[in-house]
Amino acid sequence: MKVIFEICGSLKEKFPFTLREFELPENSSVLTLIHRIDREAGEELPPSVWNSEKRIFRGPIALSIDGMVVKDYSTRLKENQHIKCNRFLIGG
């Protein structure tokens, strides 16, 4: 199945791509996508956004699907789903 991963806002300057389509096995989860990002781009990502030891995003980064923040990386993805990656900002 194909999913679309988009980097948004100030994170665009940190990633080697801003919009990318990934081919994943059926019934893949958000964590499957994160592992694919690690394999294909992990070495190019700076330590400020990527923990290469744990193979996971670092810092205040939030993934969202259909406008909802992903809280559980075991969430199953669907064909042609659009996943956005944003810097999570807190403050006022």
- The full set of domain ranges for the chain reads 2-87
Q: Is 63 exposed, middle or buried (0-12, 13-18, 19+ CB in 10 A)?
A: buried
Rounded CA-CA distance 24/5 in Å is 12
The low-confidence residues of the chain, meaning pLDDT below 50, are none
Give 2-87's CATH code, choosing from 3.40.50.10490, 1.10.3210.10, 3.40.50.11810, 3.10.20.30.
Answer: 3.10.20.30
Query: In angstroms, rounded to a whole number, what is the distance separating the alpha carbons of residues 35 and 47?
Result: 16
pTM: 0.89
Distance CA 14, CA 89 (A): 16
- 3-state SS class at 5: strand
